Structures are given as structure tokens and as C-alpha cells.
Amino acid sequence: MSLLCKLLYFLRKWSISGIISFSIILILCCNTGLAIVGFFQGGGRDATQLAKNLAGSVCYSMGLYVFIFIFRNAQKLIDLFHKWREVDAMQNHASDASLHLSINTIAGTILISAIAENAVSHLLLFPLHERVPQPLQYYYENSHKQWSLMIPYHATAAIGVFLCNKWAVYAWNFGDIFIAVISRGLYGKFKRFVESVEEKLLKSPSPAGKLDWLHAIEHHDRLSKLTEEFADLLSPLVFTSFAVNIYFICIQLHLFLAPSKKLDFVSALYVGWSFLHLVARTYVCALSAAKINDYAHNFVKILYNCPRSLYTVDVERAERKLASTSVGLHGLGAFHIGRPFILSVISVIFTFEIVLLQTSQMMPATIES
């Protein structure tokens, strides 16, 4: 009873949107639990089948994690955006005119593709070429075969599963969009800063001299600290997002290269679209984050061109710091996102895929022997 009273007390302090988010998290928790139980009951005859059966549990878990991450860190994100505005107020260069267009393009393109990809997947579960007396039951039993063995069909259960699928899939996409959008805003700040400082310090230097260089270094430090705070907050989401994306890219690439059965047109369309959507989304996310490090380190080129008469200890310190540190997002300290990281991910995917293909070719011979 005391636990219920505490829960009601906290719910009174939340907004309507907070209560709705908390309700969705509870529903997704139950849904993810059923997916994990269904995976252990279904199992698989080989590693490929196990990985394929695990995909549903991983997808729902990722969607649940994004909901929990945003729900828990909402106030921290708001505080960081307030600090973002304070940093903007201190700058003397022009605002990012293309930021609004870039963010809408990234978010709109990924979301439209995600909606279309999810719609195509449901063409496989709501067959149009044959008449089904109970389409909702057909969807429930074919989309979640193991669940239908645990929970008999009911319209409420089928609608709940349908909604959970949408929440999980779009939350997963939102996680990548959020990382890409934040990265776009941060690298845009560094880009405009470098362009402004280059014009002010190198092309049209003022009589202030050393003071201008000191102000430029201080502003770069503020941008770096803001980036570091965002990186520390987003690092669990970045780590989880890239881990899940790489997992699904490997699985979908393997199923495309070594299909277990001949695919019809709709199935082939879904497999191809889903794979390209996932690869493009991961690439946009990684490239946007990598550009933070690129534009932040462009300041080093300006420091290298500092006149000898203005080269102070502060300039030397800033030059050494940038030469030895990485600026940008990271995944729990396990990796920092830069252009070399993108090549490393591609290498890991192809290496893992070669191992999977070799294993799948050895399995039939092992079974026959």
C-alpha cells in the first residue's frame, strides 16, 4: 500500500505526457519480457537461427531502452539545452542558418523511410493476395508465433502487440535521429566558430592581438566543454545504439546473402529496404558525430598560423591539448566516434559476415555426418 501511495504521489507531480510515457514504458517492459521468454522457448537449430529469433527481443529491448533513457534524463537534457543557449549568447559570429533545414531533412528522411519500411513489413503479416477471415488474428499468430502459444488470441492482445511494435521501432529510430541531430548542432557550432575566428585572427586581424587569440581559445574551450557534457550524457545511448545497429546489419546482410528460402517480391522488397534503411541511418548517425571531431580540430590549423609575436603560453597549451585529445561523442569510453571509427565498423561487419557464411556452409556437412 505504501508503494502504491508513493507511486500516486509521483504521478501527481508528473505532467500528462510524463504519465503517458511511464505507461508506455510499463507496457513495453511486459512486451519485452514476453519476447525474451518466447525466444528461450523457441530456441533454434543453429547459431543463425538463434540470432534471427533473438532479433525481436533485441528490437523491443532497444525501443524500451530509448524510452527509459529519455524519460530518466529529460531534465538533464533541458539543462544542457539551456547551457547551449548561454553559449550561443556569448558568441560573436553569425548563427547557423542551415541548422533548421538540416535537422528537418535528417529527421524527416529517416522517419519517412522508417514508416514506409514498417508498412512494407506489415504487408507480409496482412496478406493482400488472399482473403483472411480474421486478419488481426492472422497478424498476431504470424508476427509473434511463440507468444500465441503462451497467450491465446484476443483482440486486445493483438492490438497491444501492434502498438508495442510501433513504439519500439520508432523509438529505436528516434534514438539514432536524436544522436544525429545533436551531432549536427554541435559540429555546426565548431564550423561557424572556425570560420569566424579565421576571418578575425588571420585575414583581418585587429590591434587587440593577444586578447583576440585568448578570447578565441576560451570560446573553443566552452564549446568543447559543452560537447563533453553532451557526450557523457549520451554515451550509454550511443553505445547501445551502435551495438544494436551493427548486430542487425550483420544479421540482415547474412540473411540476404544466404537466404533460407526463396523470397517473393514483397519479402525481397522488405529485406532490401530494411537493410538499406538501417545502413543509411547508422552511417548518417556516425558521420554526423564524426564531423564534431573534424571541425573541432580545424582550430589547430589556425593555431599553427599564429604569428610568433602573438604566440603565448595559452596558444601553445591549446595547440597541445587539441593535438592529443578527441572531441566528440563516445560510447561509454569504449570508442570515440571519428572517421577511423566508421572504417573500423565496416571492417568488423565484413569480418563477422565472412565467419557467419563459413559457419553456415559447414553446418550442413556437420549435420549429415
Q: Which long-range contacts (CB under 8 A, 24 or more apart) does 146-153 make?
A: 146/37, 146/38, 146/39, 146/41, 146/42, 147/34, 147/35, 147/38, 149/41, 150/34, 150/37, 150/38, 150/41, 151/34
- Contact between 226 and 83 under an 8 Å Cβ cutoff? The reply is yes
Could you write out the three-class secondary structure of 238-272? HHHHHHHHHHHHHHHHHHHHCCCCCCCHHHHHHHH
Question: Of the ranges 36-40, 48-52, 109-113, 243-247, which one carries the lowest mean pLDDT score?
Answer: 48-52
Report whether pLDDT(106) > 90: yes
The span from the CA of 358 to the CA of 369, in Å, is 17
Distances (CA, A) of 367 to 46, 132, 355, 360: 10, 38, 18, 11
Report whether pLDDT(13) > 60: no
Q: How confident is the model at residue 143 (pLDDT cuts 50, 70, 90)?
A: confident
Question: In whole numbers, what is the pLDDT of the chain averaged over residues?
Answer: 83
| Mean of pLDDT values over 182-188 | 94
Q: How confident is the model at residue 318 (pLDDT cuts 50, 70, 90)?
A: confident
DSSP string of 223-240, one letter each residue? HHHHHHHHHHHHHHHHHH
pLDDT of residue 23: 87
pLDDT of residue 366: 44
Report whether pLDDT(320) > 50: yes
Report whether pLDDT(277) > 70: yes
Q: How confident is the model at residue 198 (pLDDT cuts 50, 70, 90)?
A: confident
pLDDT of residue 1: 44
- Higher pLDDT, residue 40 or 293: 293
Beta strands in the chain (DSSP E): none
Most confident of the following: 2-16, 165-179, 260-274: 165-179
Report whether pLDDT(237) > 90: yes
- Angle CA(343)–CA(344)–CA(350) in degrees, nearest 5? 90
The span from the CA of 129 to the CA of 116, in Å, is 20
- Contact between 138 and 120 under an 8 Å Cβ cutoff? The reply is no
Most confident of the following: 128-137, 279-288, 300-309, 348-357: 279-288
Identity of the amino acid at 267: S
Nearest to 294 by CA among 334, 332, 329: 329
Report whether pLDDT(11) > 90: no
Report whether pLDDT(207) > 70: no
pLDDT of residue 293: 93
Task: State the residue for C-alpha cell 541511418.
Answer: 281
Helix, coil or strand: residue 330:
strand
Report whether pLDDT(368) > 50: no
Percent of the chain with pLDDT over 70: 85
The span from the CA of 133 to the CA of 154, in Å, is 15
Nearest to 200 by CA among 337, 302, 119, 125: 302
DSSP string of 147-177, one letter each residue? HHHHS---HHHHHHHHHHHHHHHHHHHHHHH
pLDDT of residue 128: 61
Distances (CA, A) of 238 to 120, 162, 229, 341: 28, 27, 14, 13
The span from the CA of 140 to the CA of 120, in Å, is 17
- Contact between 341 and 333 under an 8 Å Cβ cutoff? The reply is no
| Mean of pLDDT values over 154-180 | 91
Tell me the three cell numbers of residue 89: 549568447
| Mean of pLDDT values over 318-340 | 90
**Based on the number of CB atoms within 10 Å of its own CB, is 99 exposed (0-12), middle (13-18) or buried (19 or more)?**
middle
pLDDT of residue 130: 65
pLDDT of residue 6: 54
pLDDT of residue 208: 63
- Higher pLDDT, residue 265 or 75: 75
pLDDT of residue 284: 95
Tell me the three cell numbers of residue 123: 504487408
Report whether pLDDT(168) > 90: yes
The span from the CA of 355 to the CA of 347, in Å, is 12
Q: How large is the C-alpha radius of gyration of the chain?
A: 25
The span from the CA of 154 to the CA of 101, in Å, is 45
Give the total residue count for the chain: 369
Percent of the chain with pLDDT over 90: 34
